[in-house]
Each structure stands twice: as C-alpha cells, then as structure tokens.
Amino acid sequence: MTTVQWLLVIFISAGVGIFSNQILENIQLNVWVARGIGCIVAVIVALLMYKYFMGKVRAS
C-alpha cells in the first residue's frame, strides 16, 4: 500500500468512528460506551478498507 492509501484509510476510518460516536452520544448513551462503539466502528472500517486496497494491489 502506498502512503496515500494509508492516509485515506486512517482519515476515513477516523471520520466514520467520530460520526458514529456523535450519533450515539446524541441518543443519551453513556459517553464511554459510545466512545467504545465508535472505536470499534473505526477499526472495522479500517480493516475493510485495508482488505479492499490489498485486494487491488494483488490483482494488479
């Protein structure tokens, strides 16, 4: 993976994690539970994007 792809993975997964965290905090869920779920969402998105980019590298 190139540096640009790594940066895309990091920024997009962090953005999705922050978005899900804000949604969960607005429904009056415990702040630490919301942050934990936001962290898990960010990790899942990062792993999915990593798998996608590595599949494109192997195919070429």
pLDDT tens across the length of the chain (60 residues): 788 888 989 999 999 999 999 998 898 888 899 899 999 999 999 999 999 888 876 666
Let me know how long the chain is. 60
In angstroms, the Cα distances linking 30 to 8, 15, 33, 44 are 30, 20, 5, 21
Q: How far is 28 from 21, CA to CA, in rounded Å?
A: 11
Q: What is the pLDDT of residue 54?
A: 83
Question: pTM above the 0.85 mark?
Answer: no
Q: How far is 49 from 17, CA to CA, in rounded Å?
A: 14
Q: What is the pLDDT of residue 60?
A: 60
